[in-house]
Structure 1
Amino acid sequence: MIVTVFRTRMNPGAEEEYGPMAKRMSELARTMPGYISHKGFVADDGERVTIVEFETEEALHQWRIDPEHGKAKRRGIESFFSEFRFQICSVIRERMWTVKATGRV
């Protein structure tokens, strides 16, 4: 699995125009072969973090070169973000568990 950590800060007043574009990119990403998931968070200090998972580097590459996604990236750099940084990571190990309900009070 390939994980992208995308960290940004918004320009003042950009949120209203950014929202619909971000929603569209969310919808588009879900249609890409090899897409697994993505989630976004906003920290108390205003930093935004989006974590995106793809099955392979090739799947991520296809997302990267998608024309509509490319236009959105350029728009983000030119208009929406005062700061941005992304990191592409390979998952070395993954563990997961879910606590099961026991019915105890």
Structure 2
Amino acid sequence: MSDHSNAPVAPVEAYEPPYYAAVFTAVRTPAQSGYSETNERMEELVKDIPGYLGMDSAQTPGGLGISVAYFRDADALTQWRTNTEHRAAQERGRAEWYESYTLHVARVERSHGFTRGEVPKSPKTG
């Protein structure tokens, strides 16, 4: 989502399934006025949702952006989907910032992780 070029690069940890992943893939328009500020606000806001586990984001040089938000349960995901500020940002995104996008919501059935130099560990129970 936002450009955290000084932040350490690491994926969201593996959690004990089941949990949910919302995969948002988008191509943005050239008109990006206000996008960064709104994006930062959404990143702050989603952290207040009980059951929010984290987010992974990436941007290709060609302009395809992918964000994956992880939620402990369907209720947490619904709370985020129906948040008033988030809904307003979605509307503005369709009107100004996105050429196209897709959203896929999936229930995670299996999860594990790897970090070089560390002993393998079980998923977190978040």
TM-score normalised over the length of structure 2: 0.75
Tell whether 2:24 aligns with 1:6. Answer: yes
- Structure 2: give runs of 5+ residues left out of the alignment: 1-18, 119-126
Match of 1:83 in 2: 100
- Structure 1: give runs of 5+ residues left out of the alignment: none
Equivalent position amino acid for 2:49 in 1: M
Q: How far apart are residue 39 of structure 1 and its match? A: 2.2
2:56 to 35, 39, 56: 39
- Residue by residue over 1:55-83, the C-alpha shift from the partner in whole angstroms, topping out at 9 and shown as x without a partner, is 00110001001111110111101111001
Give the distance between the partners of 1:40 and 1:26, measured in 2 at CA.
11
If you compute each CA radius of gyration, which structure gives the higher value, 1 or 2? Answer: 1
Give the distance between the partners of 2:37 and 2:21, measured in 1 at CA.
24
* 2:34 counterpart SS class: helix
Tell whether 2:83 aligns with 1:66. Answer: yes
Indicate the larger mover: 5-14 or 20-29.
5-14
Equivalent position amino acid for 1:4 in 2: A
RMSD: 1.2
Q: How far apart are residue 92 of structure 1 and its match? A: 1.1
Q: How far apart are residue 45 of structure 1 and its match? A: 1.6
Higher helix share: 1
Match of 2:115 in 1: 98
Q: Report the identity percentage.
A: 26
Give the distance between the partners of 1:65 and 1:17, measured in 2 at CA.
22
Tell whether 2:88 aligns with 1:52. Answer: no
